[in-house]
Structure 1
Amino acid sequence: MRFALLSATAAGIFAGAPVSAQTMQEALASTYNNNPTLLSARAQLRAVDEGVPQALAGWRPTVVMAGSAGAADVRTRSQAQAFRPDGSFYWRDPVGSVNGVTGPIPTTLRQERTPASATVTLTQPIYRGGRTVAQTRQAENTVLAQRARLLAVEQQVLGDAVSAYIGMIQNAELLRLNINNEQVLVRQLQATNERFRVGEITRTDVAQAESRLAGARAARTQSEGTLQIARATFERVIGAAPQRLTNPQPLAVPVRSAAEAQAVAIANNPNVVSALFAAASSRDNIDVQVSVLLPQVSANAQAFRQDNQSTAHMRQTGGQATINLSVPIFQGGAEHSAVRQARQQAQQSITQVDEQRRLAAQNASQSWEQLRSARSQVDSVRSQIRAAEIALDGVQREAIVGSRTTLDVLNAEQELLNARTSLVNALSTVITGSYSVAASIGRLTAQDLGLPVEVYDMTAYYNAVRNRWVGIGDYSTVSVRR
């Protein structure tokens, strides 16, 4: 769903902001394309996508080739027997004689050979206790959960960009009001000094005007610093220095009450969706752990060649095929503990779903009430400004004839400044509040906002690697336009 922009709700906001070439849409588009936090979250999703082909690999055969080659030098020495006159015998050195007694001539055999072997083994899993099926389901649910987390990051980043954009304009307007107030107080101080010179007022009136001017200068200095902080925030989030910014309009949110906002948030908030898929993944993990307790069946085929293994000039070749069955009986009990652990982790994930639903409902209600109160505040503050302007004009006229003091004029001017400042803040809250409501119900995405960007396709990388058997290249550049 794309939001329509209201055309008149915030008419007159930041009237002092100059006409500009940079719009809110352009700033959000730049953020969507370049923000490091969002780019990092996309890379994280691609990494999670790889869990599916890793799980599917459990169905596929493995082929291993092993070989060896070397050199062997074997010497075999046999000793001779020598006999004594009494008929007994002993082992003697192979060369020479003892006491004139002779025996068989000893021999030494030397054999040089180059043993070598090569083996190719193919193993095909047939049944792994349901492990591959469970791991594939778990990986796919993890991918879906990560996609929802990416949407949550996208909403957070775009929300930060909205706040940075509005904050820049808001602080610029507050600085303008403070500069204008300082200039008014400078003229007020000059007029007060003139009246003091002719004896119409006392030194106290002059001191009051000087005090207010000093306070105005301090407020203006603080506003300048706040504006520079807002500028730095703008550059960090959006990735470019702010130029002349246009006056944005609030979003027309597609809900009409706090209850409706809560209902939509519970069903559509990315954090809730992510928690649901995370809980499904945790339940799949139970089956993964149970598979360790079940029989395993695999087929094995092997072909080999062996040269000169025992004697020189001898070769053996052959092959074999087997069906292997492994039935676990008792493995120490750790596997049973892992199953129990997985069940408790699944219970934890289910509880977190409820927590995320409550949090989403709270945020939706809070955002809605803040937006509603800000809209009401705008109307009230506008009435306050009109009344303060009339009051200031009356106090100034009465001060001329002596029925009002300088302090009365200063207070009336301060009251008008406070009202105008409140209007700027309220109008800013209306705009940011409308975007906050959109985020709380899961509708603050590039697609929902209709940003002039190529929307990132979360399925492109997944489809590129899901059934890929080989390949170590980078497929992150795969892009499918939606």
Structure 2
Amino acid sequence: MLSLRALAVAAFALTLAWLPTGVQAQSLTQALASAYTNNPELASAFLSVKSAAEDIALRQAGTRPTIGASLSGDYQWSTAGGQFNDSSSYTAGISYNQTIFDNFRTDAEIEQARALAELSKYSMRNTEQNVLLSVVDAYMSVVRDSQLVQLRQENVSFYEAQLQSSRDRLEVGEGTRIDVAQAEARLAQGVASHRAAIASLQTSQATYQRYVGTRPQSLSASHSYTGLVPPALDDALAQAEVQHPAILSAKASIRAAQAGSDAAQAGFGPSITLNGSVGTGLAFSSNPTALQGAQGVSGQVGISLTVPIYAGGAIGASVRKANIEQIRSEVSAMSAYDQVREAVITSWSGIQNASAQIESAQAAVAAQEQVVEGVIQERDLGASTTLDVLDAQAELTTQREGLIQATTNRVVATFSLLAATGRLSATELGLPVEIKSADDYTATVQDVWQELRTVD
């Protein structure tokens, strides 16, 4: 069986293996920028915005003309009466079709597509907030677990010193075997706790690498984003109602549902379609008595009016479904307001609670450090026991761990509040990145003549 000292040495080796070894520090801003640029979830959301923008162009095509050209040829032959005869004909033409009135259905569908594209944009912003908040959480988890590993390593070193001291005191007749056994037991517990901290650090590092794309190196809990925090809870709630992407998405959903209802109701109305064509033909034959050459130019123009009377209940069902979707979007909007409000209040309370815990923990750590020093002196004078020293150190370790956790919680709660108010974005944080925006793309896909110039 391995000795306690061997276990402690092994634990220390694991610490050296898993603590960051790079000399270049990685700030929180750098981690956020890296995740914003490389995270696949955010890239997927950006592509969804582009895809939704294409639906606008598709809907706008509903009342735009379609123009096509055609060219065809025909060859025939026969051997009737022992004589070979053949003929060929060619036709060319241009066709034109356009719906010039559809009871404003296309207008409603265009508005619906625009609302859905806007909804997709806000969904991307929500994804952006979730990704950035996950990065903050992963970043601070690595910071916290690294500090815990260091703290528990120091704790192991302390217990090793106390074990050696108890053995020395036993040799000179000032201690007991019970003191030695208690120190050995506490050292074993310290080594186990240290190993658990290393395992947590490994998990935190893996999560960090998942979001940021690189291994963490020399992270720090300091950041410069405190100025973005609203000064009061009411201000935070007001900001959230105006700019949180979940609320903006809910509003866009209502617009899309209303436009969908208008489009469904437009199905009851008339539609007018204009069509026309112009073409010419050429005919040739081996029979000299047959007509040959050009057949002239011909064309036609037509207009049609259609009014739905009965469609097997499909029109009525589509209207009822659209109305239900409109009601559902309004109910979902109320839920979104409540969820955002809850998130703001929870994050605000988390900051206040973490700040109070930090203040309390700092005072407790300072006091307990003096207690440990005093108990050690009393033990040396025979007024306290080794167990008293071990218990005092355990209490100090608990207080220090509480301080580390409270510091982490305050940073995470700060960024949670920024997310709850809709301000956790690359733009608001001023990240050194190229901002992902599909606004230019949306304008491009609505260019009516783009199809005639290029097809990507």
Report the Cα distance in structure 2 between the residues aligned to 1:457 and 1:337, rounded to whole angstroms: 38
Compare the two structures and name the one with the higher helix fraction.
2
Q: Is structure 2 residue 380 aligned with structure 1 residue 400?
A: yes
Q: What's the counterpart of residue 148 of structure 1? A: 122
Alignment match, 1:196: 170
Instruction: State which of 203, 207, 216 in structure 1 corresponds to 2:190.
Output: 216
Structure 2 contact 104–266 (Cα < 8 Å) conserved: yes
CA–CA separation in structure 2 for the residues paired with 1:458 and 1:67? 40
Amino acid at match of 1:276: K
Tell me the percent identity: 31
Please name the residue that 1:479 is paired with.
none
User: Which of these residues, 102, 106, 110, is aligned with residue 132 of structure 1?
Assistant: 106
Instruction: Give the CA deviation at 1:189.
Output: 0.6
| Residues 23 and 217 in structure 2, CA contact (< 8 A), matched pair in contact too | no
- Unpaired segments ≥5 residues, structure 1: 1-15, 77-106, 475-482
The TM-score with structure 1 as length reference comes to: 0.83
In the TM superposition, what are the counterparts of 1:276-295 in structure 2 within 5 Å?
276-295=251-270
Correspondence list, 1:350-361, <5 A: 350-361=330-341
1:68 aligned partner = 72
Provide closer, same or farther for how the CA distance between residues 20 and 308 of structure 1 changes in structure 2, counting only shifts above 3 A.
closer
Q: Note the 1:30-429 alignment, pairs <5 A.
A: 30-74=34-78, 111-249=85-223, 251-308=226-283, 313=292, 316=295, 317-429=297-409
**Kept in 2: contact 1:263–1:361 (CA 8 A):** no
Which residue of structure 1 lines up, in the alignment, with residue 27 of structure 2? 23
Partner Cα separation in structure 1 for residue 307 and residue 313 of structure 2: 15
Deviations 1:435-475 (A, max 9, x none): 1101100011111112222323331211222224306655x
Alpha carbons of 1:235 and 1:132: their partners in 2 closer, same or farther (altered >3 Å)? same
Residues 122 and 302 in structure 1, CA contact (< 8 A), matched pair in contact too: yes
- Amino acid in structure 2 at the alignment position of 1:313: Q
The gaps in structure 2 that reach 5 residues or longer are 1-19
AA aligned to 2:279 is: F
Structure possessing the higher radius of gyration over alpha carbons: 1
Measure, in 2, the Cα distance between the counterparts of 1:253 and 1:327. 58
Q: CA RMSD in A?
A: 2.4
- With over 3 angstroms needed to count, the CA separation of the structure-2 counterparts of 1:329 and 1:111, relative to structure 1, is farther
Q: Deviations over 1:224-276 (max 9, x none)?
A: 12212222222111122222223423623442343443333233211111111
Q: Using the TM superposition, give the Cα deviation of residue 368 of structure 1 relative to its aligned residue in structure 2, in angstroms.
A: 0.6
Q: Secondary structure at the match of 2:226?
A: coil
Secondary structure in structure 2 of the residue aligned to 1:301: strand
SS at match of 2:97: strand
1:198 to partner: Cα distance: 2.5
Call closer, same or farther: CA 1:172–1:147 in 2, change over 3 Å: same
| 2:216 alignment partner, SS class | coil
Contact 1:253 1:434 in 2 (8 A): no
Between the aligned partners of 1:60 and 1:361, the Cα distance in structure 2 is 45
Shift of 1:21: 3.6
State the SS of the aligned residue for 2:267: helix
1:444 aligns with 424
Structure 1 residues 202 and 139, CA gap change in structure 2 (3 angstroms)? same
Quick one: structure 1 residues 140 and 174, their matched pair in 2 at CA, closer, same or farther if it must change by over 3 Å?
A: same
User: What SS is found at the alignment partner of 1:124?
Assistant: strand
